[in-house]
Amino acid sequence: MDPTVSFASSGSRGGTGIEGLAMTRYHAPSTPFLMAAGSRDIEGAVECMKEGSWDFNLKEQPFRIGPAIDAALQKKRHKR
């Protein structure tokens, strides 16, 4: 398993952003992990960042998702 990028949303069914980050680290450790959080779950997004998420986006600002993915992929290429 080698996904290009892993993206989780806080409040997703079946888990949390931290759980998604842990799964990504276990199954595909070099894969960028990005988190989407609502304005009421900033604390969860910050916790994901502390644990190693590459970036987070507010759900209220979906226009930032594309640039965040582009930046994560560029960072991944430079890490190789």
For residue 15, the model assigns a pLDDT of 64
**Averaged pLDDT, 56-72:** 91
* CATH classification code of 6-61: 3.40.50.2300
Q: Between these two residues, 9 and 34, which has the higher pLDDT value?
A: 34
Secondary structure (DSSP) of 32-62:
-EEEEE-GGGHHHHHHHHHHT-SEEEETT-G
8 Å CB contact between 3 and 22: no
8 Å CB contact between 76 and 55: no
Domain boundaries along the sequence of the chain: 6-61
Report which secondary-structure segment, H or E, holds 75: helix 65-79
For residue 32, the model assigns a pLDDT of 92
8 Å CB contact between 8 and 36: yes
